[in-house]
Structures are given as structure tokens and as C-alpha cells.
Structure 1
């Protein structure tokens, strides 16, 4: 059995990473959609980055994209 080899710490780690992987992009998308950006296509580009590169795209948005807001 594969589940017999998974301990409680591994399950906790999987749950934390799963929640982190769902909530961070959701927060980033809400922030992108609620704000205006300097360029015409910046909002579309950031939405696509966050959708295609979930966690990494969200981190990139919070590191670089928030500076481009109006």
C-alpha cells in the first residue's frame, strides 16, 4: 500500500503546500483584478502569469507587479 508509507508529517506538508498553492494565486488574482495598471495590457499579462505559473507567478506579482499599479 502506498498510503501506508505516508506518515502524518508528510500529510501535513502536502496539506500546507496545497492550501498555499491555492490561496496565494487566488489572492494575487483578486488583487490584480481590483487594481488598475500603468500599461494597457499589464493586467492581462499578470493574470496569465499567475494562472499559468501558480505559485511562482504569484510570488513574481507580489515582488514586481504591485509596483506597476496606478
Structure 2
């Protein structure tokens, strides 16, 4: 059980790092994504990898 918590924490930390290092166009998208990931950890992480990464790659 403890190992799953560490894996979850590592995935969460990687998500924050990935959002911070992604290229976004002009605007506040990066700030919005950081807030989503911080305040909704599980849902924010899933949304980032399903939706956010694609929108960040366009720029």
C-alpha cells in the first residue's frame, strides 16, 4: 500500500513539472492548468494527460 502512495506522489509531481515546462501560447492557460492540478490532484492529473497536453503542443 505504501508503494502506491509513493507512485501516486511521483505522478503528481511529474504532472506539475510537465505543466510548468510545457509551451503555451499567449494567455493564462499555464496558470489555470497549475491551479487545476493543485486543487484537484487526481482529476487534474487525468485531465492534463487527456486534454491539456494536446492543447499545449499546438503552440
Q: TM-score, normalised by structure 2?
A: 0.81
Task: List structure 1 runs of 4+ shifted beyond 4 angstroms.
Answer: none
The 3 A distance-change label for structure 1 pair 39 and 62 is farther
Aligned length: 56
Is 1:61 equivalent to 2:48 in the alignment?
A: yes
* Larger Rg, first or second structure (1 or 2): 1
User: For structure 1, which runs of at least 5 residues remain unmatched after alignment?
Assistant: 1-11
* Residue number among 29, 44, 52 corresponding to 1:42 in the alignment: 29
Q: TM-score, normalised by structure 1?
A: 0.70
Distance 1:60 1:20 in 2: 18
Quote the offset at 1:35 in angstroms: 1.5
